[in-house]
Amino acid sequence: MRRGETATTTRMGPLGLLVLLLLSAISLCGAKIVYPISDSHRSAALELFSPSFESLKEAYEALRTFEVLGVEINNYRSTQACQSVLNTLGSSSSDVKDVYYALRVQKILKCDAGWENIKDVTLKLQSTICGASSLFDFYFSVGSLVLIKELDIDAEVKLEDANGVFRSIKSLGQSDGRWRYNSNNPESSTRAAGIAIEALAGVVSLAPLDVDLSLIGSVKTSIAKLFESIEKYDDGALYFDEKIVDARDYQGPLSTSLSVVHGFVALADVTSEAINVPREKLLGLAKFFLCVGMPGNAHDFYSQIDSLALLERNNFSIPLILSLPSTVLSLTRKDQLKVTLNTVLGSSAPPVSVKLVQAAVSGSKDSPIINNQELRFDSASGFHVLDSLPESADVGPYEFSFRVDLPDADISNFYATGGITKVSIYLTGLTKLEGAEIAILDSDHGSIDTKNKLELAGKNSVALSANHLQKMRLSFTLSSPLGNAFKPHQVLLKLRYETNIEHVFVIGNSGKQFELILDFLELVDKLYYLSGRYDIELTVGDAVMENSFVQPLGHINLELPTTPEKAARPPPPPVDPYLRYGPKAEISHIFRAPEKRPPREVSLVFLGLTLVPLGGFLIGLLSFGVSLKGFPTSAVPAVFAILFHLGIAGVLTLYLLFWLKLNLFTTLKILGFLGVFLLFTGHRILSHLASVSAKSKSA
């Protein structure tokens, strides 16, 4: 099997691969390098958001995502959304939350809305703020007022008691930087903190006069505290999450982080003073949102894109993402090392220089192959390119360290690049495999019995035979493209017995020479004394080899001694599931053959023969003449005599009937009666005969 045949080209968005790298047990973020938002996100967004909206919130999330990604919003979506905006803003009974999202949609779509009702809406919002107790009431109504103000229509939007509102929102805050949703609920939440900070920023922008600086200062300290509780993945990605997860209200880390980002960006927009958020943390947050890849759920997708958009346009620090289009470089194709530097949404970075600080074989203490080399910026493609790898670069896994150098202090204060970025790079190439041969050696003096040359590029089918006193030797040389010794990760020889029992051997090397000697005398136990045909298969493969292969080499017939009693039994061969379940062979019962009978004619002849004496008797009877002399002449004995003979005839008829149809029980019953009758008549007739003979004697 060659690589070209089975390797499956699978095109995936670059983001698709991020999470796959090793080391980390965390399932969401495990990537070492992250990639900015790309076109695959745009197509995914169109698939993910349903064409019709169920609520204004959903509409806003979809439209905002499309706006950030620069995806065109189709007419159907915009008409539909505008219609519900009009309905919501036109009605005085709309929910504050709906008004808020309607205004947000309006900000994106700029529908032709009639503003006749806007004063009522404004008044209603202001009264909601006065009576509000829950954080969401503040958030939606303050947010709506800010949006109405931004609409730039002549509606009077002001918050008279800004300081008071500020304090009442602030009163929901906790000492650890988190917030409560509502004054009755003691549980605090990180997401609520983000919402509260955004609401506070809104209050500041609505205030007719400046809000008390000490109040803003206290919010800043709580932001700092919030950032202290930020959570961290192994690769440096940072995110906010709830401390106590209540499954009902829990929105997930994306949503929580989004709300915090919203909060501090909004506050940074309205205050003139700087907010002390370390730039590395913003970069960590950006990495988190990017390493999520492509969320499969619409709300998460929106959270990701909206946060990245805020991180990209915030006014204190913009994260820059260093990424590589390819981390597998083929020496055969002379691939160039390319690095791109983008903002999180994929727009190009300001002019910077990228320096390759070091490139060394990973996990080795050898001297690095590249030290401090600046990459050439190719303005046509937008890549920072390393024109050629040094001559000494051989195949192997490398670790490259990059550093982004910003030209002047102004820019370097504004952008966050995260210091040195380490990336694993695989340099692949074609290895040279030569001089392969397989031989059978005689054990005692090591002389070669048979020897076969192998063409590892072509097909081989050697047929060897050996007994347990011999050895098999397989040898070849393998070297890297530069002619150095190279040990692939997988150099295995497999012997497969007829019943699918496999034995795997690792082929060892010294330098370029690879050799495996199988001494069958030592192996008989391991081979379970099974003589017969073994198929030989050689596998050579490595992550940096472009010519990895699995190849059947042929077979060897082994003659091994008979199994001693104590030897281990071979393991049961794996059962083929397809054979296990087939229908069974049909079975039909073989009935006992009926006994053999003579032909009908024979039976009838014999029947005739048995009837011959009877016939003879009857003929004799007739020819000698029947003497009825003894038959009683007087009336009464004559009647008994006739009855007696009729009784005998009846018994004979009964026997005939018994044969023809009656069963034993009926027959015996009737026979009982007939017997008594016969006994009686017989007794009478015999006693008569006896008296007659007694008379004649006495006479």
Partner 1 sequence: MANLLPLLTLISLLFLLPHHTLAFSPDTPTGRRILVLVDDLAIRSSHALYFKSLTSRNYDLELRLADDPKLALQRYGQYLYDGLILFCPTVERFGGAIIKEAVLDFVDSGRDLVLAADEDASDLIREIATECGVDFDEDPAALVIDHASYAVSSTEGDHTLIASDDFIQSDVILGSKAIEAPVLFQGVGHSLNPANNLVLKVLSASPSAYSANPKFTLSNAPVLTGSAISLVSVVQARNNARILISGSLKIFSDRFEKSGNEQFLTELSKWIFHERGHLKAVNVKHHKVGEVDEPSIYRITDDLEYSVEIYEWSGTSWEPYVADDVQIQFYMMSPYVLKTLSTDQKGLYYTSFKVPDVYGVFKFKVEYQRLGYTSLSLSKQIPVRPFRHNEYERFITTAYPYYGACFSMVS
Least distance CB 292 / partner 1 (angstroms): 6
Pick out residues in 410-429 that bind partner 1 (CB under 8 A).
424-426, 428
Least distance CB 547 / partner 1 (angstroms): 10
Pick out residues in 311-330 that bind partner 1 (CB under 8 A).
324-328
Among 254, 282, 416, 556, binds partner 1 (CB under 8 A): 254
Is there binding between residue 361 and partner 1 (CB under 8 A)?
no
CA distances from 309 to 12, 36, 42, 286, 633 (A): 24, 12, 14, 10, 144
Is there binding between residue 650 and partner 1 (CB under 8 A)?
no
Least distance CB 594 / partner 1 (angstroms): 9
Q: What's the CA gap between 448 and 473, in Å, rounded?
A: 10
Least distance CB 53 / partner 1 (angstroms): 18
Q: Are 187 and 244 in contact (CB under 8 A)?
A: yes
Among 274, 482, 485, 504, binds partner 1 (CB under 8 A): 504
Least distance CB 664 / partner 1 (angstroms): 8
Among 123, 130, 153, 245, binds partner 1 (CB under 8 A): 245
Q: Which is nearer to partner 1, 143 or 252 (CB)?
A: 252
Q: What's the CA gap between 196 and 345, in Å, rounded?
A: 27
Among 323, 322, 219, which residue's Cα sits nearest to residue 270? 219
Q: What's the CA gap between 661 and 558, in Å, rounded?
A: 78
Question: Is 333 strand, coil or helix?
Answer: coil
Q: What's the CA gap between 501 and 493, in Å, rounded?
A: 14
Least distance CB 76 / partner 1 (angstroms): 23
Residue count, binding to partner 1 (CB under 8 A): 106
Q: What's the CA gap between 350 and 342, in Å, rounded?
A: 9
Pick out residues in 270-309 that bind partner 1 (CB under 8 A).
292-297, 300
Pick out residues in 573-612 that bind partner 1 (CB under 8 A).
573-575, 577-578, 580-589, 591-592, 597-598, 600, 603-604, 606-611
Return all residues near 96 (Cβ < 8 A) that are at least 6 apart: 125, 128, 137, 140, 141, 144
In one-letter notation, the amino acid at residue 230 is I
- Burial of residue 179 (CB within 10 Å: 0-12, 13-18, 19+) is buried
Q: Which is nearer to partner 1, 163 or 490 (CB)?
A: 490
Q: Which is nearer to partner 1, 506 or 694 (CB)?
A: 506
Pick out residues in 196-235 that bind partner 1 (CB under 8 A).
none
CA distances from 199 to 131, 140, 325, 477 (A): 15, 8, 41, 71
Q: C-alpha 342: how far from its chain's center? A: 33
In one-letter notation, the amino acid at residue 185 is N
Pick out residues in 539-578 that bind partner 1 (CB under 8 A).
539, 541-545, 548-550, 571-575, 577-578
Q: Are 383 and 326 in contact (CB under 8 A)?
A: no
Q: Which is nearer to partner 1, 660 or 699 (CB)?
A: 660
Q: Which is nearer to partner 1, 295 or 637 (CB)?
A: 295
Least distance CB 345 / partner 1 (angstroms): 19
**Pairing mode, if any, of strands 420-428 and 448-453?**
unpaired
Least distance CB 695 / partner 1 (angstroms): 32
Q: Are 193 and 170 in contact (CB under 8 A)?
A: no
Interface pattern 2-41 for partner 1 (x via CB under 8 A): xx--xxxxxxxxxxxxxxx-x--xxxxx------------
Pick out residues in 605-624 that bind partner 1 (CB under 8 A).
606-611, 613-614, 617
Least distance CB 580 / partner 1 (angstroms): 6
Kindly report the number of other CB atoms within 10 A of residue 652's CB atom: 10
